[in-house]
Structure 1
Amino acid sequence: MCDTAFPGLGHVYKADYGDPAFRVQFDTEGKTLRWAPFDAEDFETAATTETYRATYIRPGVFMMTWQEADGITVTHVEDFENAIVHGAITMPDKTFLTLKGDWLRLD
């Protein structure tokens, strides 16, 4: 039997694209995450809360999607097995960014 449970629940990760890098904290219920630039002095003050959807791809790999209040859309493919994150971000002006980086569990 295949484990399709999202492994990020209740954990904190660093999405390290070099520049930029982000701290991502998942709630335990599987509905919201909080993120901030990794170098923010105070995560609690700097963090933004997002409602996300996690879609199972294969064991250890999930696609995450959310839309931010300012219209930015974010898609992550988080590979927990190989500690890699792929990001695709559409900015409000329609600029499209693709990123690949390290996906490191911090707790």
Structure 2
Amino acid sequence: MKNNLTGNTYKMETEFLKVRLFFESDNSLVFTILDGDLTAIGHTEKVETTIAEIRPNVYMVAWKEISGATVTHVEDHENGIVYSNATLPNGGFYTMKGTIRPFRD
């Protein structure tokens, strides 16, 4: 079942990262690191996602990266807020809150 994220691009900004998220399909996204300290700027990766709609315009999105990092977002598109948890291969754990908005070049 198609979700409202599919085909759209968003910019996520937290204190640690700025990321472009392109929801390519119902179960994949392409992310690009725009700025931040956790991953190399410019790093782009296509990942398989699990997306659950919590309520209209609020989604839980989870994926595992090639590096072994795991990421879970709660994306509130109605209010432009994202909550993100990331576990890095080195054992680092980050809990972040920030904004999520449609991406504009």
Q: CA RMSD in A?
A: 1.8
Mapped pair 1:90 → 2:87 = yes
Which consecutive segments of 4 or more residues in structure 1 shift more than 3 A? none
1:17-38 Cα distance to aligned partner (Å, 9 max, x none): 14410011111x3121011112
Which of 38, 62, 66 is the aligned partner of 1:65? Answer: 62
Larger radius of gyration: 1
Alignment TM-score, normalising by the size of structure 2: 0.84
| TM-score, length basis structure 1 | 0.82
Per-residue deviation at 1:5? 5.4
Number of equivalent positions: 98
Where does structure 2 lack aligned partners over 5 or more consecutive residues?
36-41
Alignment gaps of 5+ in structure 1: 40-44
Instruction: Give the counterpart letter for 2:30 in structure 1.
Output: R
Whether the 8 Å contact between 1:7 and 1:80 is mirrored in structure 2 is: no
State the identity as a percent.
Answer: 33
Q: Which one has a larger percent strand, Structure 1 or Structure 2?
A: 2
